[in-house]
A and B are shown apart, each in its own frame.
Chain A
Amino acid sequence: MNAQDLDAELVEAARRGSDAAFERIVARHQKAVRGFLRRLGGDASDADDLAQETFVAAWRELERFRGQSSVRSWLCGIAYRKRLTLRRARRRADVRDAMFAETAGQGGGEAGDRLDLARAMAALPIDQRAAVSLCLAADFSHAEAAAALNLPLGTVKSHVARGRAKLLQALSPEGGEHDRS
């Protein structure tokens, strides 16, 4: 049985009320959802908290899943909408985090690279960041990412190309803001 058939069977069983099937869905897709939310920015524990809320929302919305997209892209879509809602509510915290990133971690090396990447990701618009995070870091196809983010396929492709260029620029020796000497 391939992964998509297994997902379909699990969703069907979860709809019929099987908690074991839903647990299995969580176990199979937690890595994708948590990784996606962590790359969108912010604290890892906040991202994990939001990932848990994503699965609770998915549990409540099981009836609405039509199977037109993969389960992981449906879950990432829910996660993305939750992140957008949270972002609107937490703009002030984001500004504070950005100020912290500006002043912290002047050590160069890996810490500096991570900071450069975090900064470059934070500088991308949220939809571009999401597209990059799904397609480059999590091996989603462009079509899957388009379904998850509810964006046209062409928009996702251009977001990925532009975002990738900006991130590579930030990580190139002359692009980062840290002294790597």
Chain B
Amino acid sequence: MTDPETRLAELWSLDEPPARDPVFVGAVVARIEARRLLSTVLERAAMAAAALAVAWAAWPFVAHDLIRAGPLLAVAGALGLAVWSVDVTLERLPLGGYEDFTRDFASD
């Protein structure tokens, strides 16, 4: 019969998770992405609400000028949107190269 000390170690080893588990790592990454998305959405919703409130309050004072500058504002808005789209696209491209944190992985 095995002595209790060895038996204890054996029983604990039965419930050990695997040393490498990409599925678990992926699940953690997915949760982090979900939190990140939620906080971005909340942050932008708050900013949009604030901008809307400012616009609503300022409208009586700027309405006349804005309507007169309408065509110019439309062009500026389109240009701004184009610049923002390029910026967002570049941000997602690994132009600086990926950081290599996979080295020494075999030694873990």
A113 lies within 8 A of B7 (CB): yes
Stretch of A14-22, A65-73, A79-87 contacting B (4+ beta carbons < 8 Å): A14-22
A48 touches B24 (CB 8 A): yes
B87 at the interface (CB under 8 A from A): no
A-side interface residues, number (CB < 8 Å) = 41
Mark out the residues of chain B between 5 and 63 whose CB falls within 8 Å of any chain A CB in the assembled complex: 5, 7-9, 11-12, 14-22, 24-25, 27-29, 31-32, 35
Main secondary structure of the interface of A (DSSP, over half): helix
CA A31 to CA B22, docked complex, whole Å? 12
Contacts of A168 in B (CB 8 A): 4-5, 8
Contacts of B9 in A (CB 8 A): 137
Determine the distance from Cα of A171 to Cα of B6 in the docked complex, in whole angstroms: 10
Q: Which residue of B lies closest to A53 (CB)?
A: B31
Residues of A within 8 A of B (CB): 1, 6, 10, 13, 18-24, 26-28, 30-31, 34-35, 38-39, 44, 48, 51-53, 55-56, 59-60, 110, 113-114, 117, 136-137, 167-168, 171-173, 175
**B contact set with A: CB distance below 8 Å:** 1, 4-5, 7-9, 11-12, 14-22, 24-25, 27-29, 31-32, 35, 98-99, 101-102, 104-105, 108
